[in-house]
Amino acid sequence: MRVSTDGRLLKGEQTRNAILSRAADIASAEGLEGLSIGRLATELGISKSGVFTHFGSKEELQLATVRKAVELYREHVIEPALAVPQGLGRVRVLLDAWQRYQREPVFPGGCFFHSTMAEFDARPGRVRDAIASSQRDWRDFMERCLREARDRGEIDASADVPQLAFELDAVCRTGSAHALLHDDPTLYDRAARAMSTRLAAVTTSG
């Protein structure tokens, strides 16, 4: 009985992951409103009831999709940075991983969060709150990495860390969005140069 139960649980988790992976891909290109239980059931070859069992409503599906995107973002951007010691080296790995996440890209529609932020920024509710929370966490982590580098004397002590994080974030997002819109990968390179220049301006010589 235990083996049978564990097998069903494993299959259920695999199905849920498949649904959410496809949902995140769709949302990156078409937005979270582009998701529907019927569409996902058809595309994945499973029953509507099978999808409904996992989520119960469109809003729950959207929320779970945001959580899946956060998980993938952490895997591709945050974890590579955490794998290296604190300091300027970690900051550079973080920014490189972030650009790679967008340039490859991890999602077919580009950055999942760039797409969904634009979709929900003026729509109060649980989905907007989840997206906003993910972005606060991201900003806090970037600021933490920059502050660690400043505390180690690798970034000028007078640097305004929140402002620096804001500028790096803005440049990377804008470069990625325009590269995708204009189908021009050189704009990723422009963003990378702008980020490197901004970081170099606060990096200490010692």
CATH of the domain at 162: 1.10.357.10
Q: Which amino acid is at 35?
A: L
187 part of a folded domain = yes
The token duo for 189 is 């390179």
Place of tokens 């999808």: 51
195 part of a folded domain = yes
Select from 76, 79, 41, 71 the least CA-distant residue to 58: 41
165 to each of 108, 110, 174, 202, how far by Cα in Å?
A: 26, 21, 14, 12
The per-residue pLDDT for range 109-151, each reduced to its tens digit, is 888 999 999 999 999 999 999 999 999 999 999 999 999 999 9
What pLDDT does residue 19 have? Answer: 93
Select from 113, 95, 129, 122 the least CA-distant residue to 177: 113
- Residues of the domain holding 143: 59-200
Select from 201, 35, 44, 204 the least CA-distant residue to 127: 35
What pLDDT does residue 206 have? Answer: 54
Q: Please state whether the peptide bond connecting residue 105 to the residue before it is cis, i.e. omega within 30 degrees of 0.
A: yes
205 part of a folded domain = no
107 to each of 39, 55, 111, 122, how far by Cα in Å?
A: 18, 22, 6, 23
95 part of a folded domain = yes
What CA–CA distance (Å, rounded) separates 21 from 65?
8
What CA–CA distance (Å, rounded) separates 150 from 86?
10
What CA–CA distance (Å, rounded) separates 124 from 10?
35
82 part of a folded domain = yes
**Domain total for the chain?**
1
The token duo for 23 is 């949902």
The token duo for 131 is 């997206």
Residues of the chain with pLDDT below 50 are: 1-3
pTM: 0.89
27 part of a folded domain = no
What pLDDT does residue 11 have? Answer: 73
What pLDDT does residue 1 have? Answer: 45
160 part of a folded domain = yes
